[in-house]
Amino acid sequence: MYRKEVVPAMMKRFKYSSVMQVPRLDKISVNSGVGLATQDAKLVESTARDIEAITGQKVVVTRSKKSISNFKLREGMPIGCRVTLRQARMYEFLDRFVSVAVPRIRDFRGLSDKSFDGRGNYTIGIKEHTVFPEIDIDKIARVFGMDVTIVTTAKTDEEAYELLKALGFPFVKRQEVLTAQEA
């Protein structure tokens, strides 16, 4: 789909001279912090197991870099999980994310188009991991959120927006508000 539909549309829209100038997906990073892990270490294991089921790839357990006494945190304690998807797993996850998981988000009205970082990368925060069909709701320890960052080779946010829109991302349709002079 990317080569047959997205590349020709992007070349026409931005007037690229070469196919290699067309932005493409570089990687997808899925990240979840487990703040309650300071009290219960088993929460990190259950979070890691759920993220592995969602992404189909082994997670890396992140550990704290310093001790912070106010948070009851010691250096080296497990406090989160992350996974980086590339190539075929990345596209497979993206397809499942856009076509299955995003429509299952509660009160969903479209993804915000303001979550670009200025360099063509897009980050989405998901409040409940139960939107993914791989998760059995009866067997989860607790509901957690995660960040999904889509890293592209686009130079600007406009190029990245058009790339993700062509890949099927359901962005919010903005309607301009009429001013008093126009009405």
- The tens digit of pLDDT for each residue in 100-117 reads 888 888 887 788 888 888
Identify the pLDDT of residue 29: 92
Residue 178 DSSP class: P
* Mean pLDDT value of segment 39-68: 81
Q: Does the pLDDT at position 83 exceed 90?
A: yes
Answer yes or no: is pLDDT of 177 > 60. Answer: no
Tokens of 104: 């299952």
Q: Residue 183: pLDDT band by 50, 70, 90 thresholds?
A: very low
By the 10 Å C-beta count (0-12 exposed, 13-18 middle, 19+ buried), 39 is classed as: exposed
pTM for this structure? 0.79
Average pLDDT score over residue span 127-140: 80
Confidence band, pLDDT 50/70/90 cuts, at residue 179: very low
Q: Could you tell me which of 152, 107, 154, 157 has the C-alpha nearest to residue 127?
A: 107
pLDDT at position 144, please?
82
Contact 170, 102 (CB under 8 A): yes
Which among 55, 77, 36 has a CA at the least distance from the CA of 126?
A: 55
pLDDT at 18 (0 to 100): 86
Query: pLDDT tens for residues 6-25?
Result: 888 888 888 888 888 888 88
Residue 76, pLDDT > 80, answer: no
Q: What is the pLDDT of residue 37?
A: 58
Per-residue model confidence (pLDDT) at position 71: 67
